[in-house]
Chains A and B, each alone.
Chain A
Amino acid sequence: MISQPLRNNAGQFKVSVWRGDGTGGRHVDYDVPGLESQTVLDVVTWIQRHSDPSLSYRFACRVGMCGSCAMMVNGVPRWTCRTHVRNVIKGNVLILEPLRNLPIIKDLACDMSAFFEKWDDAMGRFHPTATRSDDVESIRPGSIGRREADAGIECINCAVCYSACDVVAYKQDYVGPAALNRAWTLVNDVRDAARGARLRVVASDAGCHSCHSHQSCTTWCPNKLNPTASIAGLKRQSALAILTGKISLNDE
């Protein structure tokens, strides 16, 4: 719903920002000047510059290509630089909190280490096969594998999907939608050497089989990616590999 925040007589609206760290915190309210067109990043920046310089938050590109500014906006993970206040304001209040499912460092900045470690755990790295003396691999862009990979490679690791995921919230070990989406793009890359090992890893308890297909990741991904579809692909491929004996869950 598109609506302008109701402003008080001074043309301001209320923003409730979570302040604190890993040990705890609380919401602090600020009155922010309402403008015709403003993003949530504009709002956070205004608070830090004009109201409270001790506020900690992250941003970099401010144009929707780095993913640094991700945080919870009225309970939904979003890129603040690409979220207009008028599109998300609810009952005249904007509530800003650090990303869900990640430890908090300070205020709106969270610790992304676990997110990247899980990327690694799901074997999100490319394992090359060719050397510089080999010919360049000829990949047809229209091939099924390449189309599947291309559908998922625009991920910029912003952790919005990770924050939206309820299985990540329930299950400490679950590697999460971003890591699995990445694994899927590599499973579909014919140049990658580690397909078998990667399928074994993602078929583990911490991997794709824990996904319940809620599709919150797909709903909220700002890049319009579809981790649920990627995870479904991994479920198919790993189930097939287990049933045909190509991988065994008992291997280590």
Chain B
Amino acid sequence: MIKPHQKHSLWLAALVHRVSGIGLALFLPFHFYVLGLALNDTATLDTFLRWTEHPMLKVAEFGLVLFLALHLFGGLRLLALEFMPWNPAQKTFAALAAALSVFIALLFLLKSI
């Protein structure tokens, strides 16, 4: 599915950025809906929040936090690429963004269990 000419790190970084963006865009409506339950159904809100204790949900949350971090730090990398003078260390920046994202997501996971 990935073509030979696409097999390089910065293309992968772009794919990660796009996929994480899609994931976040799909999650947001659900996120907003759950928060909206605070309006007149705090009981259901509490039920949802209790569900998040389930291990599978913890993994899912880890994934979401990872997506947010990847998209944010990847996005910062892109903003720097586009609006600051060119820096040849492109792969280094991509690696840094990925590493920072994994760190934060793991921090979240370990603090949440």
Which A residues contact B (CB, under 8 angstroms)? 74-77, 100, 163-164, 166, 212-216, 219-220, 226, 228-229, 232-233, 235-236, 239
Contact = CB atoms under 8 A, between A and B. Distances in A.
B4 A76 contact: yes
B86 A212 contact: no
A215 B10 contact: yes
Contact of B8 (A75, A219, A228, A235): A219
Nearest to B78: A213
Interface residues of B, number: 14
A213 B5 contact: no
Contacts of A213: 10, 14, 78, 81-82
A236 to B, nearest CB: 6
B3 to A, nearest CB: 6
B4 A216 contact: no
B83 interface: yes
A76 B10 contact: no
B6 interface: yes
A166 B3 CA distance: 10
Nearest to A215: B10
Interface string B72-105: 0000001001110010001000000000000000
Nearest to B91: A215
A166 B86 CA distance: 22
Nearest to A100: B5
11 contacts: A75-B3, A75-B5, A76-B5, A100-B5, A213-B14, A213-B78, A214-B11, A215-B10, A215-B90, A232-B86, A235-B83
Contacts of A74: 4
Contacts of A220: 5
B84 to A, nearest CB: 9
A33 B14 CA distance: 41
Nearest to A240: B83
Contacts of A215: 8, 10-11, 90
Nearest to A212: B14
A213 B80 CA distance: 12
Contact of A236 (B6, B10, B83): B83
